[in-house]
Amino acid sequence: MRLLLVNANTSEFVTGRVAEAARAVAGPGTEIRAVTGTFGARVIGTRSENAVAMHSTMALVAEHAGDCDGVLIAVSYDTAVDAAREMLPIPVLGMTEAALHVATLLGRRVGVIAFGKRVLGLYRDTIGATGLGGCVAGWRALESAAPYAPGDQSEVDRMIVAAAADLVERDGVEAIVLTGAVMAGVPARLQPRIDVPMFDGITTGVPLLEALVRMKPAKPRTGSYALPAGRESVALSSALARRLEG
C-alpha cells in the first residue's frame, strides 16, 4: 500500500515532521510518500494563504497520486480535501477530520488546541464542515512560533500540557485534538502528562486511511463526488488539466 501525504505549506521542515510521524504508525508494507508545496506560504495561517494552498494541493495531488492507494491532506485546515476527494478514484482524508472522528469515538466532549488566535476561525470552519462541530466543548489558542523550527520544545510542551489541563478542568473535555501538521507525533510524547486522550491528525489519519484503502470503497458515479470529466481549463499544470478533463 502506498499513501500520499500532501503538505501545501512550503516548509520542508513541516513535511519532514509529518513523514516521520506517519512512518512511525504505518502498518507493515505501507509506503509513505510525502510531498511539499512548491508555491504559497511557508506556513499557512490566513484565509488568503489557505486559498492559495488549495490550488497547490490540487496540483500536488494531480501530479503525485497516480500510483498511490490513498491520500492524506497534511495541512490541518484539511485544505481542498473535498475537491481532491472528487477528483480522485481513491480515498482522500483530511488530517483534522481524522483526529476529530477518532476523538469523538472516545469522548463526547472534545477540546481543540491550536497555535494562534487568528487561525481559530479557519479551524471552526474546518471542523464545522465535518458535521462534528457540536462535539467541541472548548478551544485554546497558544501563541508560539517555536514548533516550526528545530530546537528545544520544552516550553511549547509545557504550554500544551497546561492548555490540556485547563480544557479538562474548565470545560470538562474527554478527548483533545492538537492541531497543526507540525504537531505530528507530539501527543504520544505528552500523553503521560495529560489526563484524557489527545490526538494529532497524522498519527490518527494514517491508520484510518489504511483501513479505508483496505475497505476498497466504491467511487461515486453520480453526485458532487463523481469524477470530473470534460472540463476545459487554461494555464493549469498538465497533470491537473488532465484530471479535470477526465
The pLDDT tens digits for 18-53 are 999 999 999 999 999 999 999 999 999 999 999 999
Neighbours of 54 (CB within 10 A): 18
CATH architecture of 2-95+204-245: 3-Layer(aba) Sandwich (3.40)
Cα-only R_g, the chain: 18
Q: Provide the residue type at 24 as one letter.
A: A
Is residue 149 scored above 80 in pLDDT? no
**69 pLDDT band (50/70/90 cuts)?**
very high
Report the distance separating Cα 189 and Cα 21, nearest Å.
12
Report the distance separating Cα 153 and Cα 45, nearest Å.
20
Domains 2-95+204-245 and 96-201 share a fold: yes
Confidence (pTM):
0.96
What would the CATH number be for the domain defined by 96-201?
3.40.50.12500
Helices 201-215 and 95-106, packing angle to 10 deg: 90
Domain boundaries of the chain, sorted by first residue = 2-95+204-245, 96-201
